[in-house]
Amino acid sequence: MRAGTECPGTATWPTEAATAGRRHATLSASRGGTDLRVEAHQPHYQGLDYNSLNGGVARHYAPFEDAVLHGETMSSMLALGCDVFGRLAPYSAWHIEAHQFRIEVTGEESGLPTPEGVHRDGVTFVLMALVGRSNASGGESTVYDLDKRPVEKFTLTEPLDLALVNDERVFHGVSPVERLDPSRTAERDVLVITYGHRP
């Protein structure tokens, strides 16, 4: 899949000359509801406590395309998170950040979905959905307890395979992505939506 082409459930996905592309959107939702509000485009920020590699600085990414952000698939994913996580934390309003991630592997180096390694995102809950993968091996997700002992391993292989994570109670990480056929590009597209408590 190339930039400007159709991906399952979305319109276009980011690509860069490097091995990773990313788009970002910020939203909010009121307590106990799914009345989502798109906030002004803003940088993504994580503290060094949560991301020792890229934390401590505001990171700027291209915004979601409107067709994706306001599309039926994205709306359904956002509402699903509000519904499930709202039942677990019914008294919380949400600060929501959505991330489109594309990993492309074109050479000998592996693609790194989580270059920071085993980590927490510094939010309350995380929804991870596979959009598509092509000619890719690896990308295995591992969930760890707070002592960083592995408790579950799985690989998102089919479009809309989902993982729901309580970020306050576990760490997670994803193994490198490599090419199955070394003559072709490997691609892995993932949608990550984080939900953090908002006053």
5 occurs within a structural domain: no
134 domain-assigned: yes
- pTM, two decimals, is 0.84
- Residue 90 included in any domain: yes
- pLDDT tens per residue across span 31-76: 877 789 999 888 865 555 655 555 566 667 889 999 999 999 999 9
Instruction: Give mean pLDDT, residues 118-137.
Output: 94
Based on the structure, what is the number of domains in the chain?
Answer: 1
HEC-encoded secondary structure of the chain: CCCCCCECCECCCCCCCCCEEEEEEEEEECCCCCCEEECCCCCEECCCCCCCCCCCCEECCEECCHHHHCCHHHHHHHHHHHHHHHHHCCCCEEEEEEEEEEEEECCCCCECCCCCCCECCCCCEEEEEEEEEECEEECEEEEECCCCCEEEEEECCCCCCEEEEECCCCEEEECCEEECCCCCCEEEEEEEEEEEEEC
Q: Is residue 133 over pLDDT 90?
A: yes
Residue 88 lies in a domain: yes
4 found inside a domain: no
In a domain, 60, yes or no: yes
Domain assignment of residue 91, given as a range: 20-198
Looking at residue 64, which CATH number applies to its domain? Answer: 2.60.120.620
